[in-house]
Amino acid sequence: MVKEDKAGVTYAKGFKAAGVKAGIKKSGNPDFALIVSDTDAAVAGTFTQNKVAAAPVYVSKKVVKSGSAKAIVANSGCANACTGQQGMDDAEKTAALAAAQLGITADDVIVASTGVIGVTLPMDKIATGIKTAAAALDENGSKDAANAIITTDTYIKSLTTDIIIDGKEVHIGAIAKGAGMIQPNMATMLCFITTDANIDQVRLQLALSAIIEKSFNMISVDGDMSTNDMVVVLANGQAGNRKIVKDDEDFKIFYNALAELCCKMAQKVAADGEGATKFLTINIHNAKNFADAKKVGMSIANSPLVKTAFFGQDPNWGRVLCAAGYSGADMVPEKTVVKFGNITVYADGTGAAFDKKALQKVMAEHDIVIDIDLNIGSTDATVWSCDLSYEYVKINGEYHT
């Protein structure tokens, strides 16, 4: 069972973490995080598909390719994106500095950055951050690490879960940052997951890649896919279960737990979108296939007209249907049924007769479920999103440079 738990990435055996102030953020808030496994860990990762990927994405992809890692360093306040060769050098230097400090090799260090694009890393502050964070590494350090990676998030995102595999207790924990520039495709933001499960790297990557498609890739705050997105899992095997190496019952137990954790985390990121006042769960039913179901869900999730309507608590189902109609997915208006909460608002090609007061009550909730039954196939999917408020415009219309 996945639960909110500040233990986060230090919930699993053999992991320490720290979050410190390195002086990168102008606000003076914590901005540097370190997560370390006592022993070698299998590593899996998914990264942004943006052609304008940040330097740390390139560096970390190489580490994932190598198959194992022992540490994650992450800074907020500076994305190290669009920074050219200097950016690549800085990301590599960050890994090297952390490796030297921890007595490991640079190719065992995942590097992640989030913040403003186009600014180079302040390497003196990064160096200080690494030293301070290494000194602060603690088995209860996850909360500080979670706090150090957030930007415009309004709360830290930290989850844990546990399962029994081969009679052994296996722990999984995660921290994430989200908020703005959130639109899926592969990975969506920064999320670090640690587990003491004993699992083969290939299977770990298989699990993560499959799970991402129905969790982090199914959320959208604003349709913008970041240059820095990554989801990384470290699995150090300290739970002592027999190694998971194939698609057996052990793998299924691990997979389901990781999937549940990723779904919950994705939902938390969507719910805490910049300026969000509503958390929208958009269920697509009976689509022809998954791609179509996702298209309809994402089209609704990204429609500024739908998002502003929900912000205004306006049960404007016409905009929802309109967004479904231009999604590119197969749909037949006359067969489609739309519900807000448990109230049918559209069916048989036209607006349904509904209890206005009951519908107003649904629209006034913070969590709203939208059901779109396409009735032309048998595939379901769920997309999570939020509304578009004055606050989003304020946060992103502020002068940053």
* Positions that interact with its own copies (CB under 8 A): 49-53, 79, 81-87, 116-119, 180-181, 183, 185, 222-227, 302-305, 308-309, 311-319, 321-326, 331-334, 346, 348-351, 388-390, 392-401
Selected catalytic residue, list 46, 48, 188, 227: 188
- Whichever of 28 and 84 has its CB closer to its own copies, that residue is 84
User: How many angstroms separate the CA atoms of 155 and 157, rounded?
Assistant: 6
Q: What's the sign of the alpha-carbon dihedral 188, 190, 193, 194?
A: positive
Q: Assign residue 369 a region: left if phi > 0, alpha if psi is -120 to 50, beta otherwise?
A: beta
Q: Is 92 annotated as a binding residue?
A: no
| 376 C-beta neighbours (distance < 10 Å), count | 16
Smallest separation, CB 120 to its own copies (Å): 8
Work out the angle between the directed axes of helices 84-102 and 123-136 (0-180°, nearest 10). Answer: 30
User: How many angstroms separate the CA atoms of 258 and 346, rounded?
Assistant: 36
Q: What are phi and psi of 95, to 5 degrees?
A: -65, -40
- Whichever of 47 and 251 has its CB closer to its own copies, that residue is 47
Q: Is 396 annotated as a binding residue?
A: yes
Smallest separation, CB 392 to its own copies (Å): 7
Q: Is 198 annotated as a binding residue?
A: no
- Whichever of 27 and 350 has its CB closer to its own copies, that residue is 350
Q: Is 365 annotated as a binding residue?
A: no
Smallest separation, CB 351 to its own copies (Å): 4
- Whichever of 304 and 367 has its CB closer to its own copies, that residue is 304
Q: What are phi and psi of 4, to 5 degrees?
A: -70, 130
Q: What are phi and psi of 327, to 5 degrees?
A: -70, -20
- In sequence order, the β-bridge partners of residue 160 are 3, 173
User: How many angstroms separate the CA atoms of 142 and 148, rounded?
Assistant: 10
Q: Is 140 annotated as a binding residue?
A: no
- Whichever of 210 and 349 has its CB closer to its own copies, that residue is 349
C-alpha distances in angstroms, 262 versus 102, 132, 285?
29, 30, 22
- Whichever of 80 and 241 has its CB closer to its own copies, that residue is 80
Smallest separation, CB 91 to its own copies (Å): 14
Smallest separation, CB 78 to its own copies (Å): 11
Smallest separation, CB 204 to its own copies (Å): 27
Dihedral (Cα; 39, 44, 50, 53), 10-degree rounding:
20
User: How many angstroms separate the CA atoms of 57 and 111, rounded?
Assistant: 8
> Would you say 198 and 235 are in contact if contact means Cβ atoms under 8 Å apart?
yes
Whether 188 is a known active-site residue: answer yes
Q: Is 188 annotated as a binding residue?
A: yes
Residues noted as catalytic: 188
User: Residues comprising the binding site for substrate?
Assistant: 151, 177, 188, 274, 396, 401
User: Residues comprising the binding site?
Assistant: 151, 177, 188, 274, 396, 401
